[in-house]
Amino acid sequence: MPSPAAIARSILDGFDNHYRRFRYVAQQAKALFENGDWKALRQRARERIDFYDLRVVEAVTIIERDFDLDSLTEGERDGLWQAAKQNFVSLLAEHRQPECAETFFNSVCTKLLHRDYFHNRFIFVRPGVATEYMDSDPPSYRSYYPAADGLKRVLRRIIIDFGLACPWDDVERDISRVVRAVIDAHRNGVAFNRPWHIEPDFQIQVLSNLFFRNKGAYIVGRVINGTRITPVAVPILRNARGSVYMDTALFTHDLMAVLFSFTHAYFLVDMEAPAAYVDFLRSILPGKPSSEIYTSVGLAKQGKTLFYRDFLHHLKHSNDRFVTAPGIKGLVMVVFTLPSYPYVFKLIRDVIPHPKDTDRAQVMGKYQLVKLHDRVGRMADTWEYSQVTLPRSRFSASLLRELLADCSSTVEVDNETVLIQHVYIERRLTPLNIYLMHATDAELEHAMFEYGNAIKELAAADIFPGDMLYKNFGVTRLDRVVFYDYDEIEYMTACQFRYVPEARNDEDEMSSEAWYSVGPHDMFPEKWGAFLLADDRIRAAFNRHHADLLTPAFWNARKQRIEAGQLESVFPYAQALRFDVRFPAPVTRQAASIT
């Protein structure tokens, strides 16, 4: 009989190996940022996404090699895994990542046992170890006291404590700009609202490690003053001379929500105790579930675990039915939703009809491309699940018919349950085409401004949406436009953006077919207006802001910059918020390193 304690130890060793590697990438990010090695930073972020699955496979291989599981009877197997789980809990008493280790145990267990044989008794359906008040040593955040020490001195101390090994462009200028931003936020009612009195507990708390993403390093913290908690995020960027500077200061929950949005790539941040970081972030991201916060800091598997627990809890406390999601039905996916729950469920159709020229493997490849790519705040992240069992009674009759007709290879139905073999889950957004139908003039103007910005920012990240119809974009609660239909997505540098050749004669002019050769990746921006801008209001708003998108010149210029090795900066906040825009005249001219 294999030893349950030895199996538990083997699984925990596998997790600890994974988390050491996970943290090492975040620790490397600081040096890569200091050296301006953006290519390596992006590559390490991509590689880290696969770490978890690789370590799970390694752990399964080791257990299959070292323990004779095949000879066990059903009763012996049940007893072994229940005991292994109990032993695993005992090993987590002083562990700093117990919640993530439990998820790893679940992944290994379900890989080893066929779904017909594993039971909820074998896995952590609920947490086995509490993470409340868990912290690292040294603590996950530092506290500073501006009432006693002065705000400028505190800001200088915060900068010093992060220990960036590169010169500061003009530290006194940046500190003064932060102070001015605080004053402006107070005067304008954006944050630190009146009446504002200094309370005895007035302090600034800052998470101990920087958050790295793309070409930025972010200070993340909060201001505590009595019962008020004000979020703070300060992006640090690096200029062409290798000096760093503060680009802006963000003080509102909405700006923080965009920064930690499901539409961005995952942060690289070194966390000994991730639960402590997530608990801190929840205090400045009200309404954002822990599942999305864990995902945003790179712990996507833990995010999936928490999402599924929350989803099952919601099912128990609701009685509405799954229905087809609103919007135009797609040719590639069947999409459904639970109206009382803010997510959509996407299944690939068994047969993808003409004019689509793709298949299941290609569609899954496109979704994996998005998972690994920099989403620049403009592509929705997805959670990918397999073997999802849901109660049949919660499905509308029409949806069940649609699933059985169009997705029978991945959907099994019996009297009690619906088993879905493979599904993508995304945040539910308002389809842009539906939004535009009901928009006021001001809302439409903003939506078209956002739509064009989304396409331009995707282009900056070397992404071409392929199908730019409005139904493939959604509007978030913060009125940002996001792309979410990936079956035709391409690298922009793989596309050829061409002008339409002049017609040779009247017959060419009147022809319904192209009189010129068209390759599979040839794009003709001049022709997009015919199907995107038929509505007068939409056309006028689009042309006011983004007429350049309808010219090959725009796309080819972006291609040339990317092919020349330039990584363009895309900011998770408006240009108008940047200090160089808000405070163009330097406050001081004292340039110095911080000592």
Amino acid symbol at 512: S
Cα→Cα distances 458→302, 382, 555, Å: 28, 17, 11
Provide the token pair at 315. Answer: 């099912």
Cα→Cα distances 128→14, 25, 93, 436, 555, Å: 19, 28, 10, 47, 53
Provide the token pair at 92. Answer: 């987590």
- Catalytic position from the list 169, 374, 381, 462: 381
Angle subtended at Cα 168 by Cα 223 and Cα 37, rounded to the nearest 5 degrees: 100
* CA–CA separation, 174 and 578 (whole Å): 12
Is 381 in the active site?
Answer: yes
Q: Is 348 helix (H, G, I), strand (E, B) or coil?
A: strand
DSSP, residue by residue, 60-114: HHHHHHHS--TT--HHHHHHHHHHHHHHHHHHTTT-S-HHHHHHHHHHHHHHHS-
Is the bond preceding residue 231 a cis peptide, omega within 30 degrees? no
Burial class of 293 by CB neighbour count within 10 A (0 to 12, 13 to 18, 19+): buried
DSSP-derived secondary structure letter, 328:
P
Per the CB < 8 A criterion, the answer to whether 570 and 461 are in contact is yes
* CA–CA separation, 275 and 131 (whole Å): 6
* CA–CA separation, 375 and 463 (whole Å): 9
* CA–CA separation, 334 and 353 (whole Å): 13
Per the CB < 8 A criterion, the answer to whether 382 and 367 are in contact is yes
Per the CB < 8 A criterion, the answer to whether 247 and 253 are in contact is no
* CA–CA separation, 467 and 331 (whole Å): 12
Cα–Cα nearest to 207, from 277, 131, 134: 277
**Phi, psi of 347, rounded to the nearest 5 degrees:** -115, 135
Residue 343 C-beta-side C-alpha neighbours within 13 Å: 20
- How do beta strands 417-427 and 343-348 pair? antiparallel
**Phi, psi of 217, rounded to the nearest 5 degrees:** -120, 130
* CA–CA separation, 532 and 245 (whole Å): 41
Query: For helices 536-546 and 441-460, what crossing angle results, to 10°?
Result: 50
How far does CA 41 lie from the centroid of its chain?
17
**Phi, psi of 423, rounded to the nearest 5 degrees:** -155, 145
Cα→Cα distances 156→30, 198, 405, Å: 19, 21, 64
DSSP-derived secondary structure letter, 391:
E
* Positions marked catalytic: 381
